[in-house]
Chains A and B, each alone.
Chain A
Amino acid sequence: MNRQNRLRLAFPALSENEAFARVAVCAFLAPLDPTVEEIGDMKTAVSEAVTNCVVHAYKQQKGMVYIQVGLLKNGRVQIKIRDTGCGIEDVKKAMEPMYSGSDSPERAGLGFSLMETFMDKVRVRSAVGKGTTVTLEKKLSGKAG
């Protein structure tokens, strides 16, 4: 796959788009021959990040989610998930296991924990009132390099 190749997606922050987002990202990366395990890892991480946009950034209100996928050196892929929602006041706290910014008992507060488990690198940049960008990186074992 050409290193210049990249993907940009923009879609409304609707929960029904969570499945689309994770499948679209993995479909784009398919030429790199990721293993079934790696595909599953990336699907889970993207699903968590997009769910955060729907549930937390826009609090079920209207807004857009932007995804960029690109290739780095040495078979690493980079997936950026960005929103222009409310932002996170305390990123460190938000990333703590079992901390949930939602009052709902149905949210486990493990979104960032799973992203960290299944990706090599998770970076969060956020500004209150402006939005959040989550950058995920993973080295694939296939012919990405």
Chain B
Amino acid sequence: MAVRLNFEDGVLRAVLDGEIDHHSVQQMRREIDDAIVRTSPKTLVLDVRRVSFMDSSGIGLVMGRYRLLHGMGGKIVISGAAGKLEKILRIGGLEKIASFEKEGKE
């Protein structure tokens, strides 16, 4: 499990890699939140195209970052969600708090 972070022009891009569960999400959350605090992004892009497994911890990850960013006036984009992953995220009702983008730069 790894997070690659990149900040450019007000956009913080977090590329998530591997499996997201209640265990692995804790480290990801710390790294993303550190970067949010450091950069105060206008937009947080969560790139999930390399995520091979996700349970409801992934929904919690998006919801928690939304709470944090919303107070700072930022928004969330979920990039590259397809198939089962997208189904899980939509069960979480995340389209209400984040926008879904299919294509995106690597």
Residues of A near any B CB (own CB < 8 A): 15-16, 18-19, 22, 37, 40-41, 43-44, 47-48, 51, 54-55, 104-108, 110-111, 113-114, 117
Find B63's partner among A44, A106, A117 (CB 8 Å cutoff): A106
Against A, the Cβ 8 Å flags (1 = close, 0 = not) of B1-42 are: 000000000000000000101111110010000000000000
| Count of residues in B whose CB is under 8 Å from the partner chain | 24
Q: Does the CB pair A110–B56 fall under 8 Å?
A: yes
Where chain B touches its partner, the secondary structure class is helix
Complex Cα spacing A1 to B105, Å:
45
Q: How many A-B residue pairs have CB under 8 A?
A: 69
For residues 38 through 72 of chain B, which have their beta carbon under 8 Å from a beta carbon of chain A? Answer: 53-57, 59-61, 63-64, 67
Nearest neighbor of B25 in chain A, beta-carbon distance: A106
**Closest 8 pairs between A and B when the two form their complex, measured CB to CB:** A15-B23, A108-B59, A47-B55, A51-B22, A106-B60, A110-B56, A108-B60, A106-B64
Q: Does the CB pair A40–B84 fall under 8 Å?
A: yes
20 example contacts (A-B, Cβ-Cβ < 8 A) are as follows: A15-B23, A18-B21, A19-B19, A19-B21, A37-B84, A40-B53, A44-B53, A48-B55, A51-B22, A51-B55, A104-B60, A105-B60, A105-B63, A106-B25, A106-B57, A107-B60, A108-B56, A110-B59, A113-B91, A114-B88
